[in-house]
Amino acid sequence: MTEKKKYRSSAWYNSKSHRRDTFIHRGWMRNQGHPNHLFDGRPVIGICNTWSELTPCNGHFREIAESVKKGVYEAGGFPLEFPVFSASESNLRPTAMLFRNLASMDVEEAIRGNPMDGVVLLMGCDKTTPSLMMGAASVDIPTIGVSGGPMLNGHHRGEIIGSGTGVWQLDADLNAGKITEDDFVSAEISMSRSKGNCMTMGTASTMGSMVEALGMALPHNAAIPAVDARRYALAHMSGKRIVEMVKENLTMSKVVSKDSFENAIKVNGAIGGSTNAVIHLAAIAGRLEIDLSLDDWEKCGKDIPTLVNLQPSGKYLMEDFYYAGGVPAVIRQLLEKNLLNKDALTVNGKTIAENNSNAERWNKDVIKDFDNPLVKDGGIKILKGNIAPDGAILKPSAASPELMQHKGKAVVFESVEEFHDKIDDPNLDVDENSILVLKNCGPKGYPGMAEVGNMRLPQKILKKGIRDMIRISDARMSGTAYGTVILHTSPEAAVKGPLAAVQNGDLIEVDVNKGTLNLDVPAEIIAKRLEEYQPVLPEIKSGYQKMYIDHVMQADKGADLDFLVGKRGSEVKRHSH
Ligand code: FES
């Protein structure tokens, strides 16, 4: 074999100066039946797979990987699939978010430590997208994203039913005595009736759309259903394209810039995307050493209407969104209003404008007109005040317009356990004008910042037919949830952020238009309460969780571990046999 040093993998497979190492690297690979010519210096493409039977949303990823491989071989590359930690939103306890950063470390080290010149990221369930993007960003070799795609629309007893969103509705109906336990159980398979991730505009579909808006995947990546043949064609094309990207040395940091993040924030507003995008984009930007703050969300999200009429904000589901034109049709509308950085690059080597300017829109009820949107002020609203000096967030499109300006008495729960114990107590001093406050569910407090911010309403309120109240916490909320829910208050209660000072009966004033969130209590009393406050902290003394608690940053910084921020590159020491 001739020595080729063109690509990174040649240091493993084509080194003449370290022949014994080469024998070992190449020789052991041969036990899988790979012929000689695959080690001739051609681009080696890693396929980073989050397949797991315990991550049902990604359960079809071995098949997607096969389509990627076809494309890689077709373009003259050598594909090698490898597994990484798969954080399942539906199964993993205490919360998948606790393991996003751990998974990103696995991804980063697996890419850097192995002979690959480019990598295809197979992502689907909520945390699998940011963890792979974060890990890959820190290595920064040519990278392309392929999402697994959403499940087909749920159908239950004549009704369309959406992942997550349907659960919250059914749960409220069950608690209000409107449906039986049997009705509840029978909805399970009606909701999840095909392979794929949640088919509402929850966090998985939002992050798939963010990957597309950032330019990190081919057009239509987010919305093609998981079982649609076009999903497999896209995977095949992505495999073909990554080989070209290696030849062009088109690394992740050459594709994704601050402009790309600004575009993603705007697209998030237009799709009515999940609040979790705020935290994940901050973490990905941190890895790429791009400065992205809540102020960027305020600046870029302003005046972006929600165009996409999907649950939880609207009516339809991801399957409908794809048939209506998907993310490209949304991007086109934003481009036509000159709202996007049109020269932002994408993985196919074209700009976002070149990719999407001619995108078709086939259904104007699913993807609304810019001038007749689903919600006029979409996006994510940033709230600041003496409860959240570093910010809190709210998704107006999922909230009740009549609660956008509200003053109410706080009903406080010190922990999620206390919430569960007391919420249905008939003696709880609460009415529909109260504001539910939950503490100690932030990054350090829970730990892992669980999706418990959309607290269930008290039964006595639900029985009155009320379905929404203001809720404030340092937690996150599932992207499939809805309601007037203020999340991610920073700093969190567990580090004595001022949320910790709120007590039962205090008056809280929320003004979403002004972006304010204030406790009507004098500053000196807040300070005194904080001095005396004893956070309800988890008892963790060792293991990964201890490292996580010691190093996790606050929500406004993306809740990454402080020592993981930044690019560490792809250089690796040769290991000598
Ligand atoms: Fe996996 Fe929703 S639980 S995407």
- Which of 54, 58, 90, 123 is the pocket-test mutation for ligand 1 (most atoms within 8 Å of CB)? 90
Burial degree of 520 (CB within 10 A; 0-12, 13-18, 19+): exposed
Same domain, 68 and 206: yes
| Cα 57 to averaged position of ligand 1 atoms, centre (Å) | 6
Same domain, 209 and 170: no
| Per-residue model confidence (pLDDT) at position 4 | 47
Same domain, 145 and 293: yes
| Residue 202 belongs to some domain of the structure | yes
Atom of ligand 1 nearest to the CA of 126: 4
The one-character DSSP state at 487 is B
| Per-residue model confidence (pLDDT) at position 303 | 85
Same domain, 143 and 177: no
| Per-residue model confidence (pLDDT) at position 396 | 87
| Residue 471 belongs to some domain of the structure | yes
| Cα 96 to averaged position of ligand 1 atoms, centre (Å) | 10
Residue identified by tokens 């794929």 is 196
Q: Count how many residues are written for the chain.
A: 577
Task: Tell me if 45 sits within 8 A of 77, measured CB to CB.
Answer: yes
**pTM score:** 0.96
Structural domain total, the chain: 3
| Cα 253 to averaged position of ligand 1 atoms, centre (Å) | 28
- Please tell me the distance from the alpha carbon of residue 502 to that of residue 47, in angstroms, as a whole number: 48
| Per-residue model confidence (pLDDT) at position 209 | 98
| Cα 225 to averaged position of ligand 1 atoms, centre (Å) | 14
- Please tell me the distance from the alpha carbon of residue 123 to that of residue 210, in angstroms, as a whole number: 12
| Residue 376 belongs to some domain of the structure | no
Residues with pLDDT less than 50, the chain = 1-5
314: CATH: 3.40.50.2300
| Residue 566 belongs to some domain of the structure | no
| Residue 27 belongs to some domain of the structure | no
Same domain, 346 and 322: yes
| Residue 372 belongs to some domain of the structure | no
Same domain, 180 and 201: no
Structure tokens at 334: 């934003």
- Please tell me the distance from the alpha carbon of residue 335 to that of residue 355, in angstroms, as a whole number: 11
Same domain, 233 and 102: yes
| Residue 9 belongs to some domain of the structure | no
| Residue 492 belongs to some domain of the structure | yes
Same domain, 324 and 386: no
Same domain, 180 and 207: no
Q: What b/e sequence results for 416-450 when a residue is b if at least 16 CB atoms lie within 10 Å of its CB, and e otherwise?
A: beebeeebeeeebebebebbbbbbbbbbbbbbbbb
Same domain, 230 and 178: no
| Cα 229 to averaged position of ligand 1 atoms, centre (Å) | 21
- Which of 51, 57, 194 is the pocket-test mutation for ligand 1 (most atoms within 8 Å of CB)? 57
| Cα 383 to averaged position of ligand 1 atoms, centre (Å) | 28
Atom of ligand 1 nearest to the CA of 57: 1
| Cα 323 to averaged position of ligand 1 atoms, centre (Å) | 21
Pocket of ligand 1 (CB under 6 A): 57, 89-90, 125-126, 163, 197-198, 202, 204
Structure tokens at 453: 């911010």
Atom of ligand 1 nearest to the CA of 197: 4
| Per-residue model confidence (pLDDT) at position 173 | 85
Q: Cα 114–222–290 angle (5° rounding)?
A: 60
Q: Which amino acid is at 489?
A: T
Residue nearest to atom 1 of ligand 1 (CA): 125
500: CATH: 3.50.30.80
Atom of ligand 1 nearest to the CA of 205: 4
| Per-residue model confidence (pLDDT) at position 171 | 87
| Per-residue model confidence (pLDDT) at position 377 | 83
Same domain, 393 and 467: yes
Same domain, 231 and 185: no
| Cα 222 to averaged position of ligand 1 atoms, centre (Å) | 14
- Which range marks the domain in which residue 391 is found? 382-540+546-555
